[in-house]
Amino acid sequence: MSVERVHRMSHAVDAAAPAGVLYNVVADTAPWPLFLPDTVHVERLEFDGTTDRYAQWAIEDGTARPSLWRRTLDAHHRRVGFRQERPAAPVTTSGGSWSVEELAPGWSRLSLEQDITVAGNRTADVAGVLASAQAEARGVLGRLAVLAERWHRLDGLLLSFEDSVRIQGPAEPVHEFLYRVGSWPGRVAHVVGADVTEDRPGVQRTRLVNLADDGSAYTTEEVRVCFPAAGRIVFKRTRPHPLLAAHAGEWSVEPDATGVTVVCRHDVLLDADAVERMLGPGADPARAGRHVREVLGRESRATLEPAQQYARESVRSLRPV
């Protein structure tokens, strides 16, 4: 019986950012859907102050696939150890650590150490796994370094907001309406076309053709992960608004004794380089944020209104004659 070989890899990148900023970018997983292009959603499952466990949905082969991770966070030494639970074959174990070293005031080094074992040690399998891991590591390191270097502007580029509606009725038809995005053309005013693919149960890829206020058409594409039992649908736009570098969010249906509250939350990262190009000379991120808030809020409300109507119709259809 062959013993699986442990394959170790090291990567590092230097960034013009304080060490504390780089550490926080790695340690705080909540904004990763905005920071990492392939990450759709991250959900913390456990946390005791130093160790945590989280689920991450990342785009792979065009669809979102989940993975489970455990981490140990050491803020004092600016180190995060991680280990994946039940990695996908042929990988049998996967883990490592992030560490941040201060090189000089305002300059830091982010290092990533990885260890991976592959079932059977077959040459082709090992080569494919390591090539994929190395490419992903380089991409993530580069992306996090760029974001950290913009730390003094980052707060002004991040924006979260939500719209909600109160519905007197059950949660099930509301969630059904939000889930069946392919039926939105003709029901949601600004949606004139929809293409939906569900390769795995509850994981959707959508392409919507929308109408802007001036009558022009624009296309949005996103990956959605649906949690019917919890009344939630999380999404990541893979083709965001031209003013945005990244866009993620969530639909949630929250029932109580008298009805449901339906909430649409948007989390966005403005594209600083697109602000003046899109809105004209002198435009700043604050103006861009107001514009995006108006556009996306209008889309949300336009979807919530027919969801409310669909729920009312469903309740009426269940009433005895």
Q: What is the pLDDT of residue 4?
A: 81
Please report which confidence band the pLDDT of residue 231 belongs to, taking 50, 70 and 90 as the band edges.
Answer: very high
Domains contained in the chain, number: 2
Please report which confidence band the pLDDT of residue 8 belongs to, taking 50, 70 and 90 as the band edges.
Answer: very high
Cβ of 161: how many Cβ atoms within 10 Å? 16
**Same-domain check for residues 201 and 173:** yes
Asked whether 60 and 40 are in contact (CB, 8 A), the reply is: no
The helix, strand and coil proportions of the chain, stated in percent and rounded to the nearest 5, come to 35, 45, 20
| Mean pLDDT within 5-21 | 96
pLDDT tens profile 195-228 = 999 988 999 999 999 888 788 888 999 999 999 9
The better pLDDT of the pair 312, 197 is held by: 197
Spell 30-68 as b/e; 16+ CB within 10 A means b.
ebbbbbbebbbbbeeeeeeeeebebbbbbbeeebbeebe
The better pLDDT of the pair 104, 314 is held by: 104
As a whole number of angstroms, the distance between CA 73 and CA 248 comes to 26
Cβ of 23: how many Cβ atoms within 10 Å? 23
As a whole number of angstroms, the distance between CA 72 and CA 53 comes to 9
- Provide the β-strand partners of residue 118: 91
Closest CA to 29 of 297, 227, 248: 248
* Any domain includes 118: yes
As a whole number of angstroms, the distance between CA 268 and CA 154 comes to 11
**Same-domain check for residues 137 and 163:** no
The better pLDDT of the pair 158, 308 is held by: 158
As a whole number of angstroms, the distance between CA 4 and CA 12 comes to 26
**Same-domain check for residues 206 and 312:** yes
**Same-domain check for residues 144 and 222:** no
* Any domain includes 1: no
**Same-domain check for residues 255 and 121:** no
| Mean pLDDT within 275-292 | 93
Mean residue pLDDT across the chain: 92
* Any domain includes 66: yes
Domain span at residue 118? 6-149
**Same-domain check for residues 32 and 133:** yes
